[in-house]
Structure 1
């Protein structure tokens, strides 16, 4: 049950991330922005 829930959440997150980026350049920018936010939170 937990695996199915985790897989569903991962699938929804992936679909949202892909649909939010129309180009590979946009995907790279989104990933970079996410990394910067994680880095700022760690500081």
Structure 2
């Protein structure tokens, strides 16, 4: 295997790793946002019950 070929393969693998990391980060942010929304809704229900 020549050096330029090895460099191209290594670069392609690095790009794949970066893209996979981005996908995991986006999924994690989505889960965190959903949890924050759920917690806010629960807090609103609790305040509503306390006010009654």
- Please report the TM-score for the alignment, with normalisation by the length of structure 2: 0.41
Higher relative contact order (CA 8 A, sep 6+): 1
Whichever structure has more helix as a proportion of its residues is 2
